[in-house]
Amino acid sequence: MIFLIILGALLIGIYIGIYATKRPSRKTKRKEYILKHFENMDTITNNDVESILNVSDATATRYLQELEQDRKIRQVGKTGRSVYYERI
């Protein structure tokens, strides 16, 4: 009986260790992918992010704004097609 309790606790521990560990979200992975593109490019635009990640304009804007708030990139320009982002 004690053996079964110990075995059950061990299996629960293994389950928690394997399946309950926090994995990066898709959003986090995509933002890391944007930052990785700065290894090959000096700047990036909203349209670049849209095409690279195959996301909507709003989603690309949101990712770029979050990276800007995290102080990983900075926006150059105010509005329109002349806006681009640089890595800080």
Please give the chain's pLDDT, 88 residues, in tens. 787 788 777 778 777 766 666 777 889 999 999 999 988 889 999 999 999 999 999 999 999 999 999 999 999 998 888 999 999 8
Distance CA 66, CA 47 (A): 16
- pLDDT of amino acid 21: 64
- With respect to residue 37, please indicate whether it lies within any of the assigned structural domains: yes
- With respect to residue 12, please indicate whether it lies within any of the assigned structural domains: no
- With respect to residue 66, please indicate whether it lies within any of the assigned structural domains: yes
Q: Which residue segment(s) compose the domain that 34 sits in?
A: 24-87
- With respect to residue 4, please indicate whether it lies within any of the assigned structural domains: no
CA-angle at 72, arms to 69 and 74, nearest 5°: 75
| CATH code of the domain covering residue 73 | 1.10.10.10
- pLDDT of amino acid 75: 95
- With respect to residue 48, please indicate whether it lies within any of the assigned structural domains: yes
- pLDDT of amino acid 18: 66
- pLDDT of amino acid 79: 86
- With respect to residue 3, please indicate whether it lies within any of the assigned structural domains: no
Distance CA 20, CA 17 (A): 6
Number of domains into which the chain is organized: 1
Alpha-carbon dihedral 65, 66, 72, 74, rounded to 10 degrees = 10
- pLDDT of amino acid 76: 95
Counting other chains too, the contacts that 50-58 makes at CB distance below 8 Å and 24 or more residues apart are 55/30
- With respect to residue 54, please indicate whether it lies within any of the assigned structural domains: yes
